[in-house]
Chain A
């Protein structure tokens, strides 16, 4: 148990569907992240929230919409996705302390398939 829980574990959706990925951390951290993991490619940082404020948006298409209602929860809302968006979506959290890089704690991910 890493302390970061992602649901659902698997998701199949059509290109016209709307769905949401959920992430919850029980570690008292104040920063949360969404990463995309595609086969044969490096992990791609999508979004970072620090103290519930979005501080990073790595040129992610608008069909991905993050939401961080509080420091323990992070959502990724999906709509009109493309087949190339099929990937493993990983949530992570950390304790954000300036000048001191502590480790990221990852969830097990949501395996997304877009048909």
Chain B
């Protein structure tokens, strides 16, 4: 079975500062990895995903993540955050070649951007 650990429940940061949200996963098989974002009073939206190929994945809103197989990590980064990036961020994993998405989510990291 797959599992996801998001060590930081909350990350406060000032506007225009860089940020990294950490995600580690465990799995005995090859996986796909995802980051979703949840803005207040909304459902989740896909930020980016890693399926195969380049380990550096670029997503929407200037976010990127790097897949590190040896460290079983998929950390999310943004070089300069905006107030509007304040949201909950979820890392998720699913094993490859499943017929439908059986995503396993982490507990989420709340990013708080202040002026």
Contacts and interface: CB of A to CB of B under 8 A. Distances in A.
A98 B102 contact: no
A107 B46 CA distance: 12
Chain B facing A: main interface SS:
loop
A96 B107 contact: no
Interface residues of A, number: 29
Interface residues of B, number: 28
In this complex, the member of A43, A56, A94 whose beta carbon has the largest number of chain B beta carbons within 10 angstroms is A43
Interface in B74-115: 90, 94, 96-108
A94 B43 contact: no
A104 B101 contact: yes
A41 B42 CA distance: 17
Interface string A99-112: 10111101111000
A45 interface: yes
Interface of B: 4, 9, 32, 34, 36, 41-46, 49, 51, 90, 94, 96-108
Interface of A: 2, 4, 6, 31, 33, 40-43, 45, 48, 50, 55-56, 90, 92, 94, 96-99, 101-104, 106-109
